[in-house]
């Protein structure tokens, strides 16, 4: 008898009769093939297989045609290049039954379009790792930021450059947010999400190689469904 | 795209479409730190050994067996012959996909297919017959033991059902397969009924 793959009479899928532990999830590969994996979002961002294209190499992501749900047309030929305005990549299942620390390597690549503002205004445009909990949207990502007309310019005298941005939003309003400038010279750009009990905080790697953390944010417990989605925050002189 | 405006009264004219590359996502720590998938309790119909294999290679296999339910609490990985089995596939490697679990029941040379005393099989249980527990029995003795097991359940009444992972049932007549692992005696003509070789 066989579990996880139906090749002959008597075989069963894991989902049909088996029990999984906390922290595991059963994912279908085809109608006759499923598997069990950690409830985590880990990936090295390979080219994503299309749903219903069965692959059974056993290699994470490569052999998981139903793990990611894609909106828009992100270019996944060389890692995942996600467009702010049109693309979204979401995990097909919820993650983490308990405490965790998650680390993402991600960076700004390019932009199209323009941005203008009055003196003292700001803009942040980028792609963030987001999730919804307790009626709020939490997110952290890397943005292209523009600071208009400031005297002290954070990017070596330039008005725009890369920034980390984390935020907590509710509906269309943003409740909390903070940014950290990423100098042009910083090549190692990565951020973290950490949960302890019912609290979450965000971490950002600075140019000295140290982690800069947000305060702990009340988020509640429960599994999290992660997605990468574009985010735009405009600061019309209120900062 | 999520759009938030901190002060709509002071507009910023923004038409940027920013492209961001995500290169890797790694769990630094997670609780719990291992996962497993556990089969239901498997009833082999009689006492048998099993061979279990997990895919991919290298994942941890745990099992427990007993002739009675409930099964013991501990996953002792004791080899042996049991009627009831349960197998667990486990991994603490975050990137491992638990792909498959294959369980093959078998009888080793010297095992008595007639023992085990499962409900409904009419057998007398493990009676410690000749050859039990010692060395390799001769082919002749193995054949005798097989036939003994068949004749032990002779005199089968009508509607008597025999269940198990059988491929073949031997008899002088009147047996009919009525399910995936089920044979039913259709008349009172008795004679032997038994296990074939899987």
- Candidates B5, B9, B21, B93: best to mutate against A (most CBs of A within 10 A) is B21
Res. B115 pLDDT band, cuts 50 70 90 = low
Measured CA angle at B22 (ends B16, B25), to 5 deg? 145
ipTM: 0.94
Each residue's pLDDT tens digit, B130-183: 223 333 444 444 444 444 333 333 344 456 666 655 545 555 556 666 776 666
Q: Residue A24: closest CA among chain B residues belongs to which residue?
A: B35
Supply the range of the domain harboring residue A227. 97-239
Chain A: nearest CA to B165, how far in angstroms?
Answer: 10
Chain A: nearest CA to B70, how far in angstroms?
Answer: 17
Q: Are residues A185 and A112 in the same domain?
A: yes
Size of interface A-B (CB pairs under 8 A): 285
Indicate yes or no: CB of B16 within 8 angstroms of CB of A114.
Answer: yes
- 3-state SS class at A61: coil
Q: Are residues A103 and A200 in the same domain?
A: yes
Q: What is the mean pLDDT of each run of 10 residues along chain A (239 residues)?
A: 95 97 94 95 87 61 86 94 98 94 98 93 96 96 92 84 97 94 96 97 97 97 97 77
Each residue's pLDDT tens digit, B58-98: 899 999 999 999 999 999 998 899 999 999 999 999 999 99
- Other Cβ atoms within 10 Å of B178 Cβ, number: 12
Nearest to A107 by CA among A89, A130, A82, A85: A82
Sketch the domain layout of chain B as residue ranges: 35-106
Beta bridge partners of B126: none
pLDDT at position B1 over 90: yes
Q: Any idea which residue has 């999520």 for tokens?
A: B2
Evaluate whether A133 touches A193 at the Cβ level (below 8 Å).
no
Q: Are residues A148 and A228 in the same domain?
A: yes
CA A174 from chain centre, in angstroms, equals: 18
Q: Are residues A216 and A110 in the same domain?
A: yes
pLDDT at A154: 81
pLDDT at B162: 61
A59, A93, A127 - which closes a domain: A93
In B, which residues are within 8 Å of A228 by CB distance?
A: 22
What would the DSSP string read from start to end of B106-135?
Answer: E--TT--TT-S--TTS--------TTTTSS
Q: Are residues A61 and A176 in the same domain?
A: no
pLDDT at B187: 58
Q: Would you state the structure tokens that stand for residue B126, as one six-digit string? A: 């493990």
Chain A: nearest CA to B130, how far in angstroms?
Answer: 31
In B, which residues are within 8 Å of A84 by CB distance?
A: 1, 16-20
In B, which residues are within 8 Å of A237 by CB distance?
A: 7, 10
Q: Are residues A48 and A115 in the same domain?
A: no
Closest partner CB to B20 (pick from A64, A122, A141): A141
In A, which residues are within 8 Å of B55 by CB distance?
A: 4, 58
In A, which residues are within 8 Å of B86 by CB distance?
A: none
Each residue's pLDDT tens digit, B89-109: 999 999 999 999 999 999 999
CA–CA dist B112, B97 (Å, integer):
38
Q: Residue B28: closest CA among chain A residues belongs to which residue?
A: A101
A93, A121, A139 - which closes a domain: A93
Closest partner CB to A83 (pick from B9, B17, B101): B17
In B, which residues are within 8 Å of A36 by CB distance?
A: 35, 37, 89, 97-98
Q: Would you state the structure tokens that stand for residue B159, as one six-digit string? A: 């509607």
Closest partner CB to A84 (pick from B17, B31, B96): B17
Nearest to A115 by CA among B12, B3, B8, B2: B12
DSSP state of A75: B
DSSP state of A224: B
Q: Are residues A125 and A238 in the same domain?
A: yes
Q: Residue B106: closest CA among chain A residues belongs to which residue?
A: A1
Q: Are residues A128 and A211 in the same domain?
A: yes
In B, which residues are within 8 Å of A128 by CB distance?
A: 2
Total structural domains within chain A: 2
- The CATH number given to whatever domain includes residue A185 is 2.60.120
Closest partner CB to B2 (pick from A5, A97, A169): A169
A93, A121, A142 - which closes a domain: A93
What would the DSSP string read from start to end of B74-89?
Answer: S-----S-EEEEEEEE
């Amino acid at each position: 008898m066989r579990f996880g793959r139906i090749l002959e009479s008597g075989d069963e899928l894991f989902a049909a009769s088996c029990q999984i532990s906390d922290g595991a999830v059963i994912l279908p590969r085809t109608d006759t093939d499923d598997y069990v994996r950690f409830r985590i979002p880990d990936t090295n961002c390979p080219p994503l297989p299309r749903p219903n294209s069965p692959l059974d190499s056993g290699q994470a992501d490569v052999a998981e045609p139903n793990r990611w749900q894609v909106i828009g047309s992100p270019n996944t030929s060389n890692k995942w290049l996600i467009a702010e305005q049109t693309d979204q990549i979401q995990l097909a299942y919820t993650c983490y039954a308990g405490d965790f620390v998650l680390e993402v390597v991600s960076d700004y690549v390019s932009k199209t379009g323009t941005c203008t503002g009055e003196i003292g205004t700001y803009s942040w445009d980028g792609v963030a790792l987001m999730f919804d909990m307790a009626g709020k949207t939490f997110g952290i990502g890397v943005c292209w930021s523009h600071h208009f007309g400031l005297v002290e310019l954070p990017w070596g005298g330039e008005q725009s450059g890369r920034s980390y941005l984390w935020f907590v939003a509710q509906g269309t309003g943003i409740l909390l947010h903070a940014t950290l400038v990423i100098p042009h010279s910083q090549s190692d750009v990565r951020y973290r999400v950490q949960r302890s009990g019912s609290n979450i905080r965000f971490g950002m790697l600075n140019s000295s190689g140290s982690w800069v953390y947000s305060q702990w944010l009340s988020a509640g417990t429960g599994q999290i469904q992660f997605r990468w989605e574009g985010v735009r925050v405009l600061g019309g002189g209120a900062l | 795209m999520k759009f938030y405006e901190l002060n709509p009264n002071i507009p910023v004219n923004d038409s940027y479409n920013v492209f961001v590359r995500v290169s890797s996502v790694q769990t630094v720590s997670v609780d719990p730190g291992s996962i497993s998938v556990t089969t239901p309790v498997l009833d082999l119909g009689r006492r048998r050994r099993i061979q279990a294999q997990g895919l991919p290679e290298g994942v941890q296999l745990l099992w427990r067996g007993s002739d009675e339910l409930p099964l013991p609490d501990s996953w002792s990985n004791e080899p042996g012959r049991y009627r009831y089995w349960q197998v667990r596939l486990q991994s603490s490697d975050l990137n491992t996909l638990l792909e498959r679990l294959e369980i093959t029941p078998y009888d080793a040379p010297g095992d008595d297919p007639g023992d085990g005393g499962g409900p409904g099989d009419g057998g007398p249980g493990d009676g410690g017959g000749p050859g039990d527990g010692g060395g390799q029995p001769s082919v002749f003795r193995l054949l005798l033991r097989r036939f003994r097991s068949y004749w032990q359940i002779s005199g089968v009444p009508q509607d008597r059902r025999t269940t198990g992972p059988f491929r073949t049932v031997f008899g002088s007549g009147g047996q009919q397969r009525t399910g995936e692992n089920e044979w039913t005696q259709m008349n009172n003509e008795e004679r032997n009924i038994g296990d074939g070789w899987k």
